[in-house]
């Protein structure tokens, strides 16, 4: 009889500890994000640049990088050199310092996300998560980065959706 009571007690405790996931409130669209250098994705995409041409995914592809200042200066040594914003960029490049870009989308530390797995392997366009960046002069959070959005996307694509998919140590 004691083992049955013990099992019932453990089950009751476990049931009492389970909580329904309630996402924090998210206001979309978010406010435009002020960057240290004004940058128009719209202008650069119209000029023929691509997301992955500037935001590479080195190594295991965990993160999409910001372009190196020297890369940008490849064009801007001769294009819009009189622009105050390009002059800021040139100074960062000359000083060999990274522009301190402000992230528009930030996932919690407990979430494991691999850009290459989504972009290169699953062929998901950047706009699926980041919105229509190609039409933006100033970026803002326009798509949800909450767990429900990710899980809905995984469900639509029949991708794994268990907790350990995104919350395990990879």
Return all residues near 56 (Cβ < 8 A) that are at least 6 apart.
64, 65, 67
Summary count for the chain: helices (H), strands (E) = 9, 0
% helix, strand, coil for the chain, step of 5: 45, 0, 55
What ranges do the domains of the chain cover?
A: 27-66+101-162
Q: Taking Cα atoms as reference points, which of 114, 139, 120 lies closest to residue 44? A: 139
Q: What is the reported pLDDT for 25?
A: 81
- DSSP-derived letter for residue 79 is S
Q: What is the reported pLDDT for 101?
A: 97
Task: Report the distance separating Cα 159 and Cα 53, nearest Å.
Answer: 27
Q: What is the reported pLDDT for 16?
A: 55
pLDDT in tens, 97-114: 999 999 999 998 899 999
Task: Report the distance separating Cα 120 and Cα 61, nearest Å.
Answer: 9
Q: What is the reported pLDDT for 152?
A: 96
Task: Report the distance separating Cα 113 and Cα 24, nearest Å.
Answer: 19
Token readout for 126 is 């950047």
The low-confidence residues of the chain, meaning pLDDT below 50, are 4, 6, 8, 10
Angle in degrees, 0-180, between the axes of helices 84-94 and 69-76, rounded to the nearest 10: 130
Q: What is the reported pLDDT for 82?
A: 96
């Amino acid at each position: 009889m004691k083992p049955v009571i013990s099992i019932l007690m453990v089950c009751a405790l476990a049931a009492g500890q389970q909580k329904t996931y309630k996402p924090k409130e998210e206001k979309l669209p978010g406010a435009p994000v002020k960057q240290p250098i004004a940058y128009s994705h719209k202008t650069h995409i119209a000029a023929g640049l691509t997301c992955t041409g500037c935001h590479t995914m080195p190594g295991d592809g965990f993160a999409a990088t910001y372009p190196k200042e020297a890369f940008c200066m490849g064009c801007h040594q001769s294009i819009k050199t009189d622009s105050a914003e390009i002059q800021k960029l040139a100074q960062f490049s000359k000083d060999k310092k990274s522009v301190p870009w402000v992230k528009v989308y930030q996932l919690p530390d407990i979430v494991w996300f691999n850009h290459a797995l989504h972009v290169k392997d699953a062929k998901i366009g950047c706009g699926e998560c980041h919105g229509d960046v190609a039409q933006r002069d100033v970026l803002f959070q326009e798509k949800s980065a909450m767990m429900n959005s990710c899980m809905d996307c995984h469900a639509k694509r029949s991708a794994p959706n268990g907790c350990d998919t995104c919350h395990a140590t990879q």
